[in-house]
Amino acid sequence: MNVEELKGKTVLITGANSGLGYALAEHLLKAQANIIMLCRELRRAEEARLKLLTLFPKGKVGLIRMNLSSLTSVHNAAEEVLAGANKPDYIVNNAGKMFGPYMVTEEGVESQFGVNYLGHLALMKFLFPLFQEGGVGRIVNVSSIAHRWFPFEFRNILQSAHYHPVRNYSHSKLANLLLSRSLNKAFQGMGISTVAVNAHPGISRTNIGRNLPQWMVPVALRFGQSPEAGALPIMLALTDVEATGGDCYGPAGFQQWFGGAQKVEVGASAHDDRLAAALWEWGIELIEGKSI
């Protein structure tokens, strides 16, 4: 892993105040990169920012409020990024929601899918001027081994009667992989040099797993690795000079659950161009129909 190329670069991270995102921020600051944190709760995020600056006094850590369950909030955050003097060289779409009871975003979308996929799609759409300017070299969309667990059905993300917390999470993480596919297609069609790749942390012991079903808890305790280890595939996704659009990085151990970072294979559904296009069109239509 060649982290030298990160020195002096700016990395925008969604959900950087805790868990995987915070561990990634530590790795990046150690590599002498700069950070822009996009976080939902400003108080907690500011505490995390100050902690990072205590650990890395020479680091540069910016903070912008963004709630991925509100397209208005995403738009406002993107406008701050575009207006800022320190533009990102890399973007990591890391923030996410995992399991829990049925809830909806401001736009009425099931919240796991709304936060994990739709919110990040909106952020990419609103930041498109950066890509057109050629300033962002790479986007990393953070997925999960859960993307393989269920065949995708649109009704599961649109109708509360079909909500299942684990299945909907699985759908949202498959959609994250398909977002990279759609972004790369859009970039290639417009002659944009930005490349979108993927990463996943395997089984990591972070606060996102606080709503784990009871049957998953022993597995997480037995095989879960630290957030610092879980963030290593993202670091490799950012730094691999041989990365091509759509590549995925994850743990090298059993079933991609744990272990050192390497390039990994994804499920067959993550190569589904028709599903990628359908999700992209659905999301863009919803975003463009929202009065920001």
Q: Cα separation of 177 and 200, whole Å?
A: 10
Of 192, 224, 195, the C-alpha closest to 208 is 224
DSSP for 45-97 reads HHHHHHHHHHH-TT--EEEEE--TT-HHHHHHHHHHHHHSSS--SEEEE----
Amino acid letter, residue 107? E
Q: Cα separation of 90 and 5, whole Å?
A: 12
90, 117, 169, 249: the catalytic one is 169
Tokens linked to 208 = 């996102």
169 in active site: yes
Integer CA distances (angstroms), 145 to 20, 159, 185, 198, 255, in order: 15, 24, 24, 12, 9
Q: Cα separation of 153 and 147, whole Å?
A: 13
Sign (positive/negative) of CA torsion 107, 110, 111, 115? Answer: negative
Q: Cα separation of 26 and 100, whole Å?
A: 28
CB contact at 8 A, 37 and 62: yes
Annotated catalytic residues are 169
